[in-house]
């Protein structure tokens, strides 16, 4: 039998009846956790769970001090706990709204980043021009326009990060003014006024449901730097009015060319860190996500909130089963109720299609050690740190409240991040255990690996390694590294996804409702 060092497993909470392997452990390894010492009855992979005591069929399995599911059979000590013997089940959750509101953190002063001042918006961390397609029918035209302005074409404009086409697969076949339409309008309006956008042109077909006129009126869109009124109407093109594909491409290219000198006429300058809105997301999660990268990001999130900034937690379907921990720290019962209402909406919405929120995690998540949605959610909410929840927003709604807020987004990464970015996030931190190569223009995305083997294998895509926590580095120390990296990237340092040019195809607005 092998005697394993303490670093072989992590025991997260005194109430837990499972521990987590920090490396691949062979059968026969002896592990100790709290008052438990067990011999592994089978090989356990990195990120997977080990039963520390005998569990009867139907017994609660506890991780993070919380219920992550129920055993389906009797489980012996030292056994692997996973999908073959653990299911989510149901349990009553005590929301206890606003009963554990934490005190505000001590102010963190003196921190700044080098951003682009926007007189009519928050400062930007990047400076893009946007070609925004209001409907799928104008997507090809919009991409053709952006492609004209490649790196060679922009050599004379060094302060521009590029021209990006924001295209999608919808914009018609929906109820006019319905939830799907208003959601899409919020996304497009959010991109048009985004701090990282220095100018934009809107392109539609002309007969779609998501009309240009309604979008501009609904979102009160004006030219960048302009005031309201017809004189400052943003540049728009309807393919049917202009005369088709070729003529629209040429007209749009002319509009973009006219914007270039004005958009380039900016310089980075020192702005308070309190002006930063940080989006958080996790994708390709594994059993280490809630132990390393997500808690470390939570430390960085708390630091940003202490500096007066804003942190957005999305992925409501990956809050499911852990929402009771957030409602307790809601600033007011009304804020808590907003989150509860979104949870109930998701239960209703998924039921329409014969599924439930606990259909998550994905096969890849399970391969990495996650078993139930409760386990995944408890690890996912760690990204938000420990400060009070100050507001809950609809998808792509403009985020105005400071501090830690929740935005209702699906768990699918491109759709979730699109809403968070459209809501105003100038920075993203994206944690991953399996290895997501994600980016999302116009907002830079820092990718944090949950484990060192994946970080080393995918070094060209990962920005930071939180797997060092498994080797003994403190969560606080890695959280501070993430915080420092946020400031550096907000000030112009390019992320790995930016170096690869990733981020245009990842713009995916949430399509709610039927396609008619």
Here the CATH number for the domain that contains residue 30 is 2.30.130.110
In this prediction, residue 231 has a pLDDT band, given cuts at 50, 70 and 90, of: low
- Residue with the bigger pLDDT between 302 and 354: it is 302
CA 78 to chain centre: 35
φ, ψ for residue 315 (rounded to 5)? 60, 65
| Mean per-residue pLDDT, 313-332 | 97
Residue 158 contacts residue 264 (beta carbons within 8 Å):
yes
Nearest to 133 by CA among 174, 180, 199, 184: 184
How far, in Å, are 22, 107, 391, 404 from residue 67 at the CA level? Answer: 21, 34, 26, 25
Q: Tell me whether residue 269 is in a domain.
A: no
Bridge partners of residue 10, in order along the sequence: 20
| Mean per-residue pLDDT, 241-255 | 98
Q: Tell me whether residue 401 is in a domain.
A: yes
Q: Tell me whether residue 507 is in a domain.
A: no
Task: State which residues form the domain around 171.
Answer: 128-264
Q: Within this chain, do residues 153 and 49 fall inside the same structural domain, yes or no? A: no
Bridge partners of residue 282, in order along the sequence: 431
CATH number of the domain enclosing 141: 3.40.1400
The whole-number pLDDT of residue 229 equals 46
Residues 6+ apart with CB under 8 A from 248: 138, 141, 203, 237, 239, 242
Q: Within this chain, do residues 198 and 347 fall inside the same structural domain, yes or no? A: no
In this prediction, residue 225 has a pLDDT band, given cuts at 50, 70 and 90, of: low
Q: Which of 87, 102, 120 is the last residue of a domain?
A: 87
The whole-number pLDDT of residue 4 equals 37
pLDDT at 440 over 90: yes
| Mean per-residue pLDDT, 267-277 | 98
Residue 170 contacts residue 132 (beta carbons within 8 Å):
no
Q: Within this chain, do residues 179 and 244 fall inside the same structural domain, yes or no? A: yes
In this prediction, residue 73 has a pLDDT band, given cuts at 50, 70 and 90, of: very high
Q: Within this chain, do residues 379 and 422 fall inside the same structural domain, yes or no? A: yes
pLDDT at 230 over 80: no
pLDDT at 303 over 70: yes
Mean pLDDT of the chain: 95
In this prediction, residue 441 has a pLDDT band, given cuts at 50, 70 and 90, of: very high
Strands 445-449, 427-432: pairing is parallel
Grouping H, G, I as helix, E, B as strand and the rest as coil, residue 313 is strand
351-381 pLDDT, tens digit each: 999 988 777 688 999 999 999 999 999 999 9
Q: Tell me whether residue 42 is in a domain.
A: yes
Q: Tell me whether residue 106 is in a domain.
A: no
Residues 6+ apart with CB under 8 A from 284: 364, 365, 368, 432, 433, 434, 435, 436
Q: Within this chain, do residues 195 and 231 fall inside the same structural domain, yes or no? A: yes
| Mean per-residue pLDDT, 454-462 | 98
Q: Tell me whether residue 110 is in a domain.
A: no
How far, in Å, are 147, 199, 282, 305, 414 from residue 326 at the CA level? Answer: 44, 38, 18, 16, 24
The whole-number pLDDT of residue 90 equals 87
The whole-number pLDDT of residue 368 equals 93
The Cα 27–Cα 250 span in angstroms is 67
| Mean per-residue pLDDT, 480-489 | 98
In this prediction, residue 91 has a pLDDT band, given cuts at 50, 70 and 90, of: confident
Can you spell out the DSSP letters for 212-250?
Answer: HHHHHHHHT---TTPPSSGGGPPPEEEHHHHTSHHHHHH
Residues 6+ apart with CB under 8 A from 37: 30, 31
- Residue with the bigger pLDDT between 140 and 355: it is 140
Eight-class DSSP state of 383: G
Q: Within this chain, do residues 319 and 345 fall inside the same structural domain, yes or no? A: yes
Structure tokens that stand for 31 in this block: 């592990």
pLDDT at 350 over 60: yes
Q: Within this chain, do residues 162 and 207 fall inside the same structural domain, yes or no? A: yes
| Mean per-residue pLDDT, 31-47 | 95
Nearest to 447 by CA among 486, 404, 403, 505: 486
Q: Within this chain, do residues 74 and 186 fall inside the same structural domain, yes or no? A: no
In this prediction, residue 5 has a pLDDT band, given cuts at 50, 70 and 90, of: very low
Strands 49-51, 18-21: pairing is antiparallel
The Cα 81–Cα 74 span in angstroms is 11
In this prediction, residue 228 has a pLDDT band, given cuts at 50, 70 and 90, of: very low
Q: Within this chain, do residues 297 and 358 fall inside the same structural domain, yes or no? A: yes
| Mean per-residue pLDDT, 125-129 | 98
* Global pTM value: 0.95
Q: Within this chain, do residues 260 and 285 fall inside the same structural domain, yes or no? A: no
Q: Tell me whether residue 319 is in a domain.
A: yes
Q: Which of 36, 71, 87 is the last residue of a domain?
A: 87
| pLDDT-wise least confident of 218-227, 283-292, 412-421 | 218-227
Instruction: Find tokens 């991953």 and name the residue.
Output: 432
State what percent of residues in the chain have pLDDT above 90. 92
pLDDT at 161 over 80: yes
Q: Within this chain, do residues 253 and 326 fall inside the same structural domain, yes or no? A: no
Nearest to 357 by CA among 323, 306, 391: 323
Structure tokens that stand for 235 in this block: 């540049």
* 489 CB neighbour count, 10 Å cutoff: 22
In this prediction, residue 3 has a pLDDT band, given cuts at 50, 70 and 90, of: very low
The total number of structural domains in the chain stands at 3
Q: Within this chain, do residues 74 and 132 fall inside the same structural domain, yes or no? A: no
In this prediction, residue 10 has a pLDDT band, given cuts at 50, 70 and 90, of: very high
Q: Tell me whether residue 512 is in a domain.
A: no
């Amino acid at each position: 039998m092998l005697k394993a060092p303490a670093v072989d497993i992590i025991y997260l909470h005194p109430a837990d009846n499972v521990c987590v392997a920090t490396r691949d452990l062979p059968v026969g390894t002896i592990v100790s956790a709290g008052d438990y010492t067990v011999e592994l009855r089978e090989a356990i992979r990195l990120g997977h769970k080990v039963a520390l005591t005998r569990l009867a069929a139907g017994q609660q399995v506890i991780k993070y001090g919380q219920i992550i599911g129920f055993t389906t059979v009797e489980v012996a000590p030292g056994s692997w706990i996973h999908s073959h013997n653990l299911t989510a089940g149901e349990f009553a959750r005590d929301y206890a709204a606003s009963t554990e509101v934490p005190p505000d953190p001590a102010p963190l002063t003196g921190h700044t980043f080098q951003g682009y001042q926007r007189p009519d918006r928050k400062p930007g961390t990047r400076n893009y021009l946007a070609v925004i397609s209001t409907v799928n029918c104008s997507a090809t035209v919009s991409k053709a326009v952006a492609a004209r302005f490649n790196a060679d074409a922009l050599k004379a404009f060094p302060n521009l990060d590029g021209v990006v086409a924001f295209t999608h697969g919808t914009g018609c076949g929906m109820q006019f003014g319905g939830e799907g339409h208003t959601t899409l309008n919020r996304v497009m309006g959010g991109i048009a006024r985004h701090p990282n956008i220095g100018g934009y042109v809107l392109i539609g077909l002309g007969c779609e449901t998501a009309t240009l006129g309604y979008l501009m009126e609904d979102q009160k869109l004006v030219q960048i730097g302009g005031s309201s009124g017809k004189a400052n109407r943003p540049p728009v093109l309807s393919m049917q009015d202009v005369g088709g594909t070729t003529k629209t491409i040429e007209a749009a290219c002319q509009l973009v060319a006219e914007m270039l000198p004005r958009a380039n006429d900016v310089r980075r300058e020192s702005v308070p860190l309190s002006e930063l809105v940080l989006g958080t997301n996790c994708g390709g999660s594994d059993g280490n996500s809630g132990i390393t990268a997500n808690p470390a990001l939570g430390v960085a999130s708390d630091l940003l909130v202490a500096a007066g900034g804003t942190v957005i937690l999305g992925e409501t379907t990956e809050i499911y089963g852990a929402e009771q921990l957030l409602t307790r720290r809601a600033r007011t019962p009304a804020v808590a109720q907003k989150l509860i209402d979104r949870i109930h909406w998701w239960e209703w919405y998924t039921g329409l299609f014969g599924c439930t929120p606990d259909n998550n995690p994905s096969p890849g998540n399970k391969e990495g050690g996650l078993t139930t949605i409760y386990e995944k959610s408890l690890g996912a909410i760690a990204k938000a740190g420990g400060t009070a929840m100050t507001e809950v927003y609809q998808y792509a709604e403009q985020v105005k409240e400071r501090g830690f807020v929740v935005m209702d987004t699906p768990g699918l990464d491109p759709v979730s991040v699109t809403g968070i970015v459209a809501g105003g996030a100038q920075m993203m931190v994206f944690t991953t255990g399996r290895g997501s190569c994600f980016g999302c223009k116009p907002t830079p995305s820092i990718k944090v690996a949950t484990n060192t083997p994946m970080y080393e294998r995918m070094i060209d895509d990962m920005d930071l390694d939180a797997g060092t926590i498994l080797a003994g580095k403190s969560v606080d120390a890695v959280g501070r590294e993430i915080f420092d990296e946020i400031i550096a990237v907000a000030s112009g340092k390019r992320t790995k996804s930016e170096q690869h040019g990733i981020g245009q195809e990842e713009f995916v607005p949430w399509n709610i409702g039927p396609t008619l």
